[in-house]
Structure 1
Amino acid sequence: MERVDELSQPEETMRERVGDSRLRHWILITGNRWVVTGLLLVGSYLLLLVFYAIGPTVARKLTTGSTVSSAFSSMIIATVTSVTLVLTIGQLVLSQEIGPLGEQRQRMNRATEFREKIEESSEIGAVPADPSRFFQTLIDLVERRTRTLNEAVTEDATAEETEDIVAYTEDVIDHSTAVRNDLEGTTFGSFETLLPVLNYNYSWKIATARSLRERYSRTLSEAADDAIEDVIEALRFFGPAREHFKTLYFQWEVVNISRAMLYAALPVLMLVGYTIFVNEPSTLSGPGAIAGFDTTYLFVGGLYVVSLLPFAVLLSYLLRLLTVAKRTLAIGPFILRETERGE
């Protein structure tokens, strides 16, 4: 029988599964957003210096009073517009949390019912309210049922059946242990809580369990068949739970973006306004050149890059949110990336 695609164990982390370098992964996802913002500004300033070095335009033409006034006046309009847009998006996010009593009660009932189903299935008294411990509970449930499957298969199964299913259970147990350890001590609001959850490729685990069950449906014992179904049921809890907390994290980050934009916009507007007010050739002129760069160009370029702060903040946060959204579009046993297919 042809070996199914899902039996090929993917890498354990999201970075390795998509083939990102450590630097690219750090910039897009794991890096501190304020540090990424600073790097974006430094990169922008260096790019201006490159343009100065290779460009045909004389620096004096770039730093005349009319040119500087026009550029910084445009920055005021762009900053106000971007802040207004971000605040509008923030209000839309917050509006989802505001509603009549009946709607709020329905939301609470749905969340409570989901927790009760997990408690009933896992046979524990109460599911932890803390997100990291909540996911650890789900992973413990998956791991416990996977060990039961391992025991059921090794008791009564063919050699090929035992090899495939035992290999699957060992992969699931090892990965579950690693992710549970990564969740230890994390708090909601930091990306350290969401990242291990994203690394837990429950879609592959569900798809592979279903494939194994279909392949050996004629030879599996009743106990082993029930054990596989229990594993799949436990993994199915992980999908909606991850999407729920991912949505909460996105809302949390949108609020952070709005607040960061407000913090950055006012000083930038003051700086830009000051630059326009004092914009005279004698004020902006500098003492010669530094390392071959006109000091007036260095000064005006530095002010211009600082005025990009709100946009750099917005870009650094959007890089993370959009990357996470793209890599977690599917819910359930769907894998939206290139995979090696069996011959």
Structure 2
Amino acid sequence: MSGAAGSEASPDGPERRESADTADTMRERADENRAKLWLLLRANRLVVAGVLTLAVFVAFVAAATSLSPSLAGKVGASDPIETLFASTITAIVTGATLVVTIGQLVLTQENGPLGDQQERMDDTLAVRDSVADLTGEPPPTDPAAFLDALLAAATGRARALRESVRERADESDADETGVAADVDEFAAGVVGNADAVRGRLDGAEFGSFDVVFAALDFDYGRKLGRVERIADEHGDALTDAERDRLDGLREALSLFGPAREHVKTLYFQWALIDLSRLILYAAVPALVVAGAMVTVVDAGTFPGSTLGIAHVTLVVGGAFAVALLPFSLFVAYVLRVLTLAKRTLAIGPLVLRDSE
């Protein structure tokens, strides 16, 4: 993280801090390839699972066709189909059972005695009261609008602080000139970042990834650290009203952190429940296909070839890909959950190296 802002230039001075603070989006902070982040986070999970299934089919057919002897020849001499799909059936049943267990663990967090539920309610209402005190009105109940209200509060206080300090920037005092430049740069970063995220939150519906993905692009942790540095370095140069605005900005940023984490946690539970349901749906046709391959298909079931590829190879490859569809769904969803968890490990003004 950047060091103290002072009048002397240093590797950790204003130039380094400005470049760090302008990296607001998660892609910029993570320094990841755009296509990679799109695949891990933004892409529709069903599309990712479909692409993985297609990749399995293509790889299977290519390997079975190019290796010697070919699959068609091996089927005539032995029974690899029964061995392959008998094992697949066992894997499907075991995987579906595991998914049910995961779903039960998620639902367990929602169960508990009356006292625990009352404590959860009290904690939730306490946070909403804090947000109401900050914004001056009851906070919204929609997750996207709730985060938007906190960003609006942060934007309003950042603008008010900047305008107040600017009014005194024409004075000849060098210290106040330095305060104005520091506050102006910081407030511009807060307003620009918040406005961009608010535009993406507008109309976003919870259940999709849009709300969480937009919230990830507000880099509140760095901004909290910057507020602390401004208060430490320029606190004496600020008026009482300006210190109050700075405190209000700090409160808005500090409330955004747990609010985003709460929305992220709810999304995790939502996604894992969807994953459990989809895998159970996919397990039924996967079992049917695998069972049919074990009992029906042999070397003579699909004679002939197309473009030099034996029909039996295409059928076995397609059936194998369909049988692995539950696993493809699991991979697609868990990739997003794990990537999101890694990018949001720290809460507050802590910046992990992998998040920079």
- TM class, shorter-chain normalised? over 0.9
**In the alignment, which residue of structure 2 is the partner of 1:161?**
179
Residues 299, 312 of structure 2: 8 Å contact kept: no
Q: 1:56, CA displacement in angstroms?
A: 4.0
Q: Which of 1, 6, 27 pairs up with 1:15?
A: 27
Say whether residues 1:263 and 2:294 are aligned partners. Answer: no
Matches within 5 A, 1:29-178: 29-52=41-64, 54-64=66-76, 66-124=79-137, 126-157=138-169, 158-178=176-196
Q: Give the Cα–Cα distance (whole angstroms) in 2 for the partners of residues 185 and 337 of structure 1.
A: 33
What secondary structure is seen at the aligned counterpart in 2 of 1:262? helix
Q: 1:163 to 1:53 in 2, by over 3 A?
A: farther
Say whether residues 1:228 and 2:233 are aligned partners. Answer: no
Q: Which of 279, 286, 300 pairs up with 2:297?
A: 279
Query: What whole-Å deviation, never above 9, does each CA across 1:39-92 have from its counterpart, x for those lacking one?
Result: 001111222233235534433354355211011001011111111111101101
**In the alignment, which residue of structure 1 is the partner of 2:40?**
28
Q: Give the Cα–Cα distance (whole angstroms) in 2 for the partners of residues 198 and 253 of structure 1.
A: 17
Q: 1:6, CA displacement in angstroms?
A: 4.4
Farther-moved stretch of structure 1 (329-338 vs 314-323): 329-338
Q: 1:96, CA displacement in angstroms?
A: 1.0
**In the alignment, which residue of structure 2 is the partner of 1:327?**
343
Residues 158, 191 of structure 2: 8 Å contact kept: yes
| Percentage identity across paired residues of the two chains | 37
What secondary structure is seen at the aligned counterpart in 2 of 1:173? helix
What secondary structure is seen at the aligned counterpart in 1 of 2:285? helix
Q: Give the Cα–Cα distance (whole angstroms) in 2 for the partners of residues 205 and 78 of structure 1.
A: 48
Q: 1:63 to 1:216 in 2, by over 3 A?
A: farther
Residues 6, 208 of structure 1: 8 Å contact kept: no
Q: 1:62 to 1:42 in 2, by over 3 A?
A: farther
Q: Give the Cα–Cα distance (whole angstroms) in 2 for the partners of residues 67 and 328 of structure 1.
A: 46
Q: Give the Cα–Cα distance (whole angstroms) in 2 for the partners of residues 233 and 136 of structure 1.
A: 15
What secondary structure is seen at the aligned counterpart in 1 of 2:79? helix
Say whether residues 1:243 and 2:261 are aligned partners. Answer: yes
Residues 156, 221 of structure 1: 8 Å contact kept: no
Q: Give the TM-score taking structure 1 as reference length.
A: 0.93
Query: What whole-Å deviation, never above 9, does each CA across 1:175-210 have from its counterpart, x for those lacking one?
Result: 111111111111111111111111111111111121
What secondary structure is seen at the aligned counterpart in 2 of 1:169? helix
**Paired residue type of 1:74:** S
Q: Give the Cα–Cα distance (whole angstroms) in 1 for the partners of residues 343 and 75 of structure 2.
A: 44
Q: 1:338 to 1:310 in 2, by over 3 A?
A: closer
**Paired residue type of 2:85:** F
Q: Give the TM-score taking structure 2 as reference length.
A: 0.89
What secondary structure is seen at the aligned counterpart in 2 of 1:190? coil
Q: Give the Cα–Cα distance (whole angstroms) in 1 for the partners of residues 150 and 71 of structure 2.
A: 62
Query: What whole-Å deviation, never above 9, does each CA across 1:132-182 have from its counterpart, x for those lacking one?
Result: 111111111111111111122212352222112101101111111111111
**In the alignment, which residue of structure 1 is the partner of 2:212?**
194
Farther-moved stretch of structure 1 (128-137 vs 155-164): 155-164
Residues 62, 297 of structure 1: 8 Å contact kept: no
Say whether residues 1:181 and 2:193 are aligned partners. Answer: no
What secondary structure is seen at the aligned counterpart in 2 of 1:129? coil
- State the superposition RMSD in angstroms: 1.8
Residues 250, 321 of structure 1: 8 Å contact kept: yes
